[in-house]
């Protein structure tokens, strides 16, 4: 695989090389970040909202995606793809504060409205990952409220967000099940990490003795 990728990248014309190798017959996609052209210009992946910022994981404004249809038709074919914004721990906790602590944050609301206007998906999985690896004590009700707030935000209408109406409300039954599963997963990871640390410390103390 590495040899194939190197062969493509070292070629003078990447598209011609792909056609020659016929590597996209299995619906592969290639993302080129240094081709000098792009076909994702309709999306702004790096945007600031006061103290908040949406940061793309790559330079998508200079990204060109090659797929099978492009090679067959030899032209730029529109691409269907989804975009997901991962809220980090700070943003997730601030969203929770808007629901449960009456936090007023226009910058955050503006960012949420922008995300919705672009039909981007959102997730707080990054928060769940961070808090599960946190070695410091974290109150379970704080984690629950953060997961709860994320679910409420997903259920809110654009009109509610525009009115800044972040009054907590009852969620559908399946949403509570997802929150519970998320909470149990975080607790399981934290318990495993603490057990590993206990074993490590015991071994370390034995070595010292």
Residue range 85-125, pLDDT digits in tens: 999 999 999 999 999 999 999 999 999 999 999 888 998 88
**Given this model, what pLDDT does residue 115 score?**
93
Which H or E element spans position 30?
strand 30-32
**Averaged pLDDT, 52-72:** 76
Report the C-alpha gap between 19 and 24 in whole angstroms.
8
80, 101, 136 — which closes off a domain? 80
**Averaged pLDDT, 60-77:** 70
Same domain for 52 and 38, yes or no, is yes
**Given this model, what pLDDT does residue 160 score?**
94
Same domain for 68 and 23, yes or no, is yes
Ranges 37-41, 54-58, 93-97, 179-183: which has the least confidence? 37-41
Same domain for 43 and 125, yes or no, is no
**Given this model, what pLDDT does residue 104 score?**
94
108 CB contacts (<8 Å, ≥6 apart)?
Answer: 49, 52, 91, 94, 95, 98
Same domain for 47 and 106, yes or no, is no
**Given this model, what pLDDT does residue 36 score?**
67
Compute CA distances 190 → 92, 183, 186, 198, whole Å.
19, 11, 6, 12
Question: Which segments of the chain does DSSP mark as H helices, in order?
Answer: 2-9, 14-21, 68-73, 89-100, 106-117, 125-132, 140-155, 158-162, 173-208
**Given this model, what pLDDT does residue 144 score?**
92
62, 80, 98 — which closes off a domain? 80
The label of the residue with tokens 């996209």 reads 24
- Domain containing 160 equals 82-209
Q: How many domains does the chain divide into?
A: 2
Read off the DSSP letter of residue 171: P
**Given this model, what pLDDT does residue 99 score?**
96
Highest mean pLDDT among 11-15, 78-82, 123-127, 150-154: 150-154
Report the alpha-carbon angle 39-44-31, nearest 5: 40
**Averaged pLDDT, 199-204:** 75
Q: What percent of the chain has pLDDT over 90?
A: 33
**Given this model, what pLDDT does residue 146 score?**
93
Same domain for 68 and 106, yes or no, is no
Same domain for 116 and 168, yes or no, is yes
How high does pLDDT run on average in the chain? 82
Report the C-alpha gap between 67 and 46 in whole angstroms.
24
């Amino acid at each position: 695989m590495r040899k194939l990728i190197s062969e493509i990248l070292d070629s003078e014309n990447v598209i011609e090389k792909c056609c020659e190798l016929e590597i996209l017959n299995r619906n592969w996609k290639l993302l080129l970040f240094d081709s000098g052209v792009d076909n994702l210009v309709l999306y702004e992946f790096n945007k600031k909202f006061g103290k908040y910022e949406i940061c793309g994981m790559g330079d998508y404004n200079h990204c060109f995606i090659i797929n099978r249809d492009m090679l067959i038709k030899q032209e730029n074919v529109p691409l269907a793809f989804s975009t997901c914004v991962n809220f980090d721990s700070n943003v997730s906790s601030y969203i929770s504060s808007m629901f449960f602590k009456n936090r007023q944050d226009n910058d955050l609301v503006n960012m949420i409205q922008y995300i919705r206007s672009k039909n981007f998906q959102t997730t707080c999985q990054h928060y769940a990952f961070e808090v599960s690896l946190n070695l410091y004590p974290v109150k379970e009700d704080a984690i629950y409220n953060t997961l709860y707030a994320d679910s409420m935000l997903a259920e809110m209408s654009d009109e509610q967000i525009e009115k800044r109406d972040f009054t907590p409300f009852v969620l559908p039954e399946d949403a509570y099940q997802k929150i519970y599963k998320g909470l149990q997963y975080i607790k399981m990871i934290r318990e495993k990490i603490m057990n590993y640390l206990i074993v490590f410390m015991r071994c370390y103390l034995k070595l010292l003795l």
